[in-house]
Structure 1
Amino acid sequence: MRLLFAGTPDIALPTLRTLEKTRHEIVGVLTAPDAPAGRRRVLTPPPVKVWAEDKNTPVIQPERLGAAARQEVAALKPELLVVVAYGKIFGPRFLELFPQGGINMHPSLLPRHRGPSPIPAALLAGDQITGVTVQYLALEMDAGDILEQREVPLSSRATAVELYHELGVLGGEAVASVVEHIARGTARPRRQVAEDATWCHLIRKGEGDLTWQESAVVIDRMVRAYTPWPGVRCRWGETPLQLLETEPLPEHSSCEIPIHRQGVSGPSREAAPGTVLGVDNGKGILIQTVDGILAVRRLKLQARKEADYRSFLNGNSSIIGSVLNVGSVVKQA
């Protein structure tokens, strides 16, 4: 079949690479316009465009999916639209261009976590299993009939970075399988159970700012879901501090942890949330939360390099005994 691929970020690349090895032809890619990136805001092409240009595959980058975009797509004579993280919703006039319709790879087990941020949503929810869904495109977001699902166990230490890679590869394999079934006429779609649907929202900058009203378990989930972006931050004095790797110790009270106190009077059950209790040489810097203790293994002060907790304490031992403030209001460098 003649395929038009629509996608933008890195998670879309494994599907492209997998489809390239099949008997089907990628006749073009539809991707977002080049956008400013990095500190210097240099105009940068999306990863899917870079891949396509390397393969001499036609690239379409419309600001909107209007008549001009439809004309460009129609000229390629595609039969099936394959979508992985494109970033726009397709209207009925656009979908009419594809005799076989369109399919989408969504990195969750639909109907759970419909919406734009399913990977962080699974981590924030503490899900024990996740996976990918290949669905037919529908006018309602992520509500199409399911063509294939593949599951993976979700460990308590999984991170968004790891899942983007793992589910990207798994999704590429599932998409290739579905494309072949559609080509052979053996696809067996099934309806989603709408009553089981849950939704996730578009993540905004600042959602990782801590209030210290969160439990150790919740903060750890935030760190694993929001690193590298938008990041989980608090303030030490007036300086933004980002937590990069943590471990919750919810089963311990602040009096039950062996701590090297480095001159402070020691933890107590009355320690305010956000209090830096001390350091455990096997776990990290220990911080009191409203429920349990949080061990911080890696962290980063604004305008400094990230560091493991031992290296951090070499120059910042005065953090022991301090009370960290609510999330950063200063732009991170």
Structure 2
Amino acid sequence: MKIIFMGTPEFSVPSLIKLSENNYKPVVVVTGLDKKQGRGQKLISTPVKIAAENLNIPLIQPLNLKDPAFLKQIKSIDADLACVVAFRILPEELLTIPKMGTINLHGSLLPFYRGAAPIQRAIMAGEKETGVTTFFIKKKVDTGNILLQDSLKIGENEDFGSVHDRLSELGGDLLLETVRGVKSGNIEERMQDDSLATNAPKINASDLNINWSNSAKSIHNQVRGLSPFPGASTKLMNKKIKIFKSEVEDEMPDKYSPGEVASVEKEFFTVSTGKGGLKILELQREGKNRIKCADFLRGMNVPVGEKLE
């Protein structure tokens, strides 16, 4: 069975490895271009490129997915199936090349959280469960017929980084099971119920700023969904900080308005919100490293009543 694998970030890597280690090693991997990073502007390979090189799989790194030369190269492979995990939106002429179709692995239980940021959005919405879905790609994003799904519970204080890593492993197992099922013909497709669909748009700058008038639970979910990257942000003593770890304090004195520091302990300080308080456990000052709040408080005097905004 000739498989083309398409993916770029760390999320895609377990899928590539699990296929390769179970007799479904792709004949070629399509991934993003190397990017310049850091002060030295050194070219950095994508995580999928590094994995493919370790597995001795040929690579293609196209600039334009509609490039006739690239499409001709893909057609010449005469692939049975394409597997896509966290790649770009594919042009229709590319989708139809593999004989058996093109499968996508998505980081949600479709039709919920269609879009670019399903894991972050699920956590930010306070979901207690999420999962992964494999489906045949259609022209409209994340709307194709579902093949298989698997789910996991989201911990009350679990962040995006943790859920991402668990879903990437779960997704690798599900994609392998899907490929086996497609090959044997034992999977029944089912249509998505569009009436249940929700969107998960890309995280943008407006998602990062904390509104202290929201409930502590809502802000806590925002912090979890944006940790470890890019981080929920606010200002403390006119300096921007990012908050990466927090806990909800349900009972708070009424005398503090949203955004005011209500208490300062050795390990954390608590900020009043629209409902309840938020314990700040890990944070980062602009231009500094992420640290535990206890270390921050050793070098910074945060008075009770100080306003975050």
TM-score between both structures, scaled by the size of structure 2:
0.95
- Aligned partner of 1:278 in structure 2 is 263
What value does the CA root-mean-square deviation take over the aligned residues?
Answer: 1.6
Name whichever of 154-163 and 8-17 sits farther off.
154-163
User: What secondary structure is seen at the aligned counterpart in 2 of 1:5?
Assistant: strand
Determine whether 1:295 maps to 2:294. Answer: no
User: What secondary structure is seen at the aligned counterpart in 2 of 1:104?
Assistant: strand
User: What secondary structure is seen at the aligned counterpart in 2 of 1:70?
Assistant: helix
Structure 2 Cα separation of the partners of residues 228 and 82 of structure 1: 28
Name whichever of 69-78 and 146-155 sits farther off.
69-78
Amino acid at match of 2:72: Q
Structure 2 Cα separation of the partners of residues 310 and 24 of structure 1: 49
- Aligned partner of 1:155 in structure 2 is 155
Residues 244-276 of structure 1, C-alpha deviations (whole Å, 9 max, x = no match): 110112x3122xxxxxxxxxxxxxx23222111
Superposed, 1:166-181 pairs within 5 Å as 166-181=166-181
Determine whether 1:68 maps to 2:53. Answer: no
Structure 1 Cα separation of the partners of residues 158 and 92 of structure 2: 38
Amino acid at match of 1:270: K
Superposed, 1:114-133 pairs within 5 Å as 114-133=114-133
Unaligned runs of 5+ in 1: 255-268, 326-333
Percent sequence identity over matched residues?
30
Name whichever of 106-115 and 271-280 sits farther off.
271-280
Superposed, 1:311-326 pairs within 5 Å as 311-325=295-309
- Aligned partner of 2:290 in structure 1 is 306
Amino acid at match of 1:216: A
1:230, distance to aligned residue in structure 2 (A): 2.0
- Residues 60, 72 of structure 1: 8 Å contact kept: no
- Residues 204, 230 of structure 1: 8 Å contact kept: no
1:313, distance to aligned residue in structure 2 (A): 1.1
Amino acid at match of 2:81: L
Give the 3 Å change call, closer, same or farther, for CA 102–304 of structure 1 in structure 2: same
- Residues 15, 175 of structure 1: 8 Å contact kept: yes
User: What secondary structure is seen at the aligned counterpart in 2 of 1:272?
Assistant: coil
Determine whether 1:253 maps to 2:237. Answer: no
Superposed, 1:187-206 pairs within 5 Å as 187-206=187-206
1:100, distance to aligned residue in structure 2 (A): 0.6
Aligned length: 308
User: What secondary structure is seen at the aligned counterpart in 2 of 1:25?
Assistant: coil
Give the 3 Å change call, closer, same or farther, for CA 300–56 of structure 1 in structure 2: same
1:145, distance to aligned residue in structure 2 (A): 0.7
Give the 3 Å change call, closer, same or farther, for CA 74–190 of structure 1 in structure 2: same
Amino acid at match of 1:62: P
1:206, distance to aligned residue in structure 2 (A): 4.9
1:41, distance to aligned residue in structure 2 (A): 4.2
Amino acid at match of 2:51: W
- Residues 207, 230 of structure 1: 8 Å contact kept: no
Amino acid at match of 2:178: V
User: What secondary structure is seen at the aligned counterpart in 2 of 1:318?
Assistant: coil
Structure 1 Cα separation of the partners of residues 248 and 199 of structure 2: 26
- Aligned partner of 2:3 in structure 1 is 3
Structure 2 Cα separation of the partners of residues 310 and 54 of structure 1: 41
- Aligned partner of 1:262 in structure 2 is none
Structure 1 Cα separation of the partners of residues 307 and 226 of structure 2: 23
1:295, distance to aligned residue in structure 2 (A): 0.5
Give the 3 Å change call, closer, same or farther, for CA 307–23 of structure 1 in structure 2: closer
- Residues 257, 272 of structure 2: 8 Å contact kept: yes
Structure 1 Cα separation of the partners of residues 99 and 69 of structure 2: 20
Residues 42-65 of structure 1, C-alpha deviations (whole Å, 9 max, x = no match): 321111111112222111111221
Name whichever of 269-278 and 175-184 sits farther off.
269-278
Amino acid at match of 2:29: V
User: What secondary structure is seen at the aligned counterpart in 1 of 2:79?
Assistant: coil
Give the 3 Å change call, closer, same or farther, for CA 13–319 of structure 1 in structure 2: farther
- Aligned partner of 1:144 in structure 2 is 144
1:113, distance to aligned residue in structure 2 (A): 0.4
Amino acid at match of 1:221: N
Give the 3 Å change call, closer, same or farther, for CA 319–308 of structure 1 in structure 2: farther
Structure 2 Cα separation of the partners of residues 133 and 15 of structure 1: 13
- Aligned partner of 1:42 in structure 2 is 42
- Aligned partner of 1:261 in structure 2 is none
1:231, distance to aligned residue in structure 2 (A): 1.0
Determine whether 1:83 maps to 2:67. Answer: no
- Residues 206, 230 of structure 1: 8 Å contact kept: no
Q: Which runs of 4+ in 1 moved over 4 A?
A: none
